[in-house]
Structure 1
Amino acid sequence: MNRRGWFLFALMCIIWGIPYLLIKVAVESVSVPVLVFTRTAVGAAVLLPLALRGGQLVVLVRHWRPLTAFAAIEIIFPWFLLSNAERHITSSMAGLIIAAVPILAVVMARLIGDSDQLNARRWAGLALGFAGVTVLVGPNLGVDDPWAIIEVLLTACGYAGAPLLTAHRLKGVPGLPMAAVCLAGTALLYTPAAVLTWPDSLPPGRVLAALAGLAVVCTALGFVVFFALIREVGPSRAMVFTYVNPAIAVTAGVCILGEPLRPTFLAAFVLILVGSVLATARQSIGEPVPEPAVPQAAVPR
């Protein structure tokens, strides 16, 4: 990987590692519908002109049904559930639970008939990953809000299922216009609830900064950098940053918000990370890894 590739990789680790921190700050003063509306509306306003300039939006018309389903399980419901959960649990906890997405994706792929074989290494990865989730979630069900933890787990299920939907029903659909349309549709859907729960007074500066960061940096800029990274290093290398995001989320929560760093967090993160790497490995050591199709379902968290 060249210097530009490393720069883009590091940037993606940060851009999609800090949403949990920003969400935690934003929900202090604004409702969840306002947060989701602001993030998606601004993101769509930035990305739609780029998609229109490329003339790719017309391709999406014949895919409106799976596109609607994708928006529902990747953005509409998950972003509400995650934001609502962070009203009750720490951003560190949320980021670590989301780290289980690769594990859940392997299980879901198997359930729908994925032809990939689960060898001993991948089974061991699944076992380690679920052990990590148990270490993380189990002791906290009686301490933190149990429904909030369930909301984040449901969010992780949505994030894991959306790529499978695109692989089966949206294969070949360009990613940038798909993201722009899904964001625009979500913004329209949340408009009535956002209007009804709009804050009576201007939120504090840190909340406004968090909303701006979510919309401009984590959503709009996140997509631009993500596709630039794919062009620079290829899709398989580009997706490695997803393993780093939870560490960024925990670091940001602990250092900036002063969230507690429990020993179980570290143990769970190691188990989930190692489990994810093993469970998602498709080739034996030493075999060449083919470049997969460009991941169309990557949406900033």
Structure 2
Amino acid sequence: MTARGWWLFAAMALLWGVPYLFVKEAVATFSPAAIVAGRTLVGALVLLPIALQRKAIAPALRKWPWVLAFGAIEMAGPFVLIGHAEITLPSGLTGLLVATVPLFAALIGLAGGDRAVLQPLRATGLVVGFVGVAVIVGGPAATTGGAGGIVAVGELMLVAVCYAVAPFVVVTKLRDVPALGSITLSLAAVGACYLPIALVVPSAAPTARSTVSLVLLGVLCTAVAFIGFFALIAEVGPVRAPLFTYVNPVVAILLGAVLLGEQITIGLVIGFPLVIAGCWLAATGGRLPGRRSARAARGIDP
């Protein structure tokens, strides 16, 4: 990998590892709906001039039903579920549970006829990954918020399923649409849908800290992150690019512990490596992918 590739890799590991910290800060005074509306509208406003300059909006508009479907699965549902879950769960634990996406992607692939998922190492990865989730759910998640913590875990598992399904929409229905156009239009549509809800759902008086976190969530972790991800794909290819997602939980857990004082429990220490190792095995079969692949892969956007 080139030096530029490594810099982009590090940038994406940070940009999509830090959102859980910002969401945790924002949800202290903003409702989950307000966080989704603010994040997506800010992201859309930043990306729109670039998308217009690259003539990416018109092709997306021609496929608007599928663009909206992508936005609902990739953004509308996951963003609000993450915000609601972080009312109860620590930010680091949230980031780790969302990182189970490759496990669900493998199961979806198996349901679609991908028999490669049954290869010994990949099948082992599925088992190991879900054992890690069980250890976490039986440990830190069970002792954080009681029944509410278990509900929050269920919300994050649903987020992981959504993130696993969304690429199939892109691959099958939006293959010929510029990604920048699809993402910009999706962000604008999701923001427009959530804005009325955000205005009527009660929220506490916004603090400067929560407001700055929300703005950074929209600018850095949404708009800039997507631009960086496109650059990373162009630099190292669509298969290697998503490998940074295995670093995201490390960033989320460290930031939560250092900046928010979140506890690193025994269950998290045991479950964390199991989840990451399981996801890696389930997704790659234990091999580092090459630069070329017939099927594009996408990363995890919290």
Relative to the length of structure 1, the TM-score reads 0.92
- Does residue 173 of structure 2 align to residue 169 of structure 1? yes
1:245 to 238, 248, 256: 248
Q: Residue 234 of structure 2 corresponds to which residue in structure 1?
A: 231
Amino acid at match of 1:281: T
Contact 2:245–2:300, Cα closer than 8 Å, also in 1: no
| Aligned equivalents of 2:108, 2:204: Cα separation in 1 | 43
Amino acid at match of 2:283: T
Q: Residue 7 of structure 2 corresponds to which residue in structure 1?
A: 7
- Does residue 161 of structure 2 align to residue 157 of structure 1? yes
Aligned length, in residue pairs: 298
The worse-fitting range, judged by mean Cα deviation, of 54-63 and 217-226 is 54-63
- Does residue 281 of structure 2 align to residue 278 of structure 1? yes
Q: CA separation of 1:13/1:133 partners in 2, compared to 1, >3 Å: closer, same or farther?
A: same
Structure 1 residue 223: Cα displacement: 0.9
Amino acid at match of 2:218: A
| Aligned equivalents of 1:195, 1:243: Cα separation in 2 | 36
Contact 2:129–2:279, Cα closer than 8 Å, also in 1: yes
Structure 1 residue 285: Cα displacement: 5.7
Q: CA separation of 1:259/1:117 partners in 2, compared to 1, >3 Å: closer, same or farther?
A: closer
Q: Residue 265 of structure 1 corresponds to which residue in structure 2?
A: 268
Q: After TM superposition, list the pairs within 5 Å mapping 1:31-50 onto structure 2.
A: 31-50=31-50
Q: Report sequence identity in percent.
A: 38
The worse-fitting range, judged by mean Cα deviation, of 36-45 and 231-240 is 231-240
Q: Residue 94 of structure 2 corresponds to which residue in structure 1?
A: 94
Contact 1:121–1:279, Cα closer than 8 Å, also in 2: yes
Q: After TM superposition, list the pairs within 5 Å mapping 1:17-166 onto structure 2.
A: 17-114=17-114, 116-140=116-140, 142-144=142-144, 145=148, 146-166=150-170
1:213 to 213, 216, 227: 216
Q: Residue 301 of structure 2 corresponds to which residue in structure 1?
A: 300
Contact 2:101–2:163, Cα closer than 8 Å, also in 1: yes
| Aligned equivalents of 1:106, 1:158: Cα separation in 2 | 13
Q: Residue 182 of structure 2 corresponds to which residue in structure 1?
A: 178
| Aligned equivalents of 2:291, 2:6: Cα separation in 1 | 20
Structure 1 residue 169: Cα displacement: 2.1
Structure 1 residue 111: Cα displacement: 1.2
| Aligned equivalents of 1:12, 1:153: Cα separation in 2 | 22
| Aligned equivalents of 1:120, 1:86: Cα separation in 2 | 35
Structure 1 residue 83: Cα displacement: 0.3
Amino acid at match of 1:266: V
| Aligned equivalents of 2:102, 2:81: Cα separation in 1 | 19
| Aligned equivalents of 2:28, 2:114: Cα separation in 1 | 42
Q: CA separation of 1:120/1:25 partners in 2, compared to 1, >3 Å: closer, same or farther?
A: same
Amino acid at match of 2:161: C
| Aligned equivalents of 2:112, 2:271: Cα separation in 1 | 28
Relative to the length of structure 2, the TM-score reads 0.92
| Aligned equivalents of 2:271, 2:129: Cα separation in 1 | 8
Q: Deviations over 1:194-216 (max 9, x none)?
A: 22237574x22211221111011
- Does residue 293 of structure 2 align to residue 291 of structure 1? yes
Structure 1 residue 105: Cα displacement: 0.6
Secondary structure (helix, strand or coil) at the match of 1:30 reads coil
State the superposition RMSD in angstroms.
2.0
Q: CA separation of 1:184/1:299 partners in 2, compared to 1, >3 Å: closer, same or farther?
A: farther
Contact 1:23–1:210, Cα closer than 8 Å, also in 2: yes
| Aligned equivalents of 1:13, 1:20: Cα separation in 2 | 13
| Aligned equivalents of 1:265, 1:172: Cα separation in 2 | 41
Structure 1 residue 157: Cα displacement: 1.0
Q: CA separation of 1:71/1:8 partners in 2, compared to 1, >3 Å: closer, same or farther?
A: same
Structure 1 residue 138: Cα displacement: 2.7
The worse-fitting range, judged by mean Cα deviation, of 171-180 and 190-199 is 190-199
Q: Deviations over 1:5-61 (max 9, x none)?
A: 111111110000011111001000111111111100000001111111111222123
The worse-fitting range, judged by mean Cα deviation, of 125-134 and 224-233 is 224-233
Contact 2:22–2:213, Cα closer than 8 Å, also in 1: yes
For structure 1, the 5+ residue unaligned runs are none
Q: CA separation of 1:207/1:292 partners in 2, compared to 1, >3 Å: closer, same or farther?
A: farther
| Aligned equivalents of 1:193, 1:215: Cα separation in 2 | 18
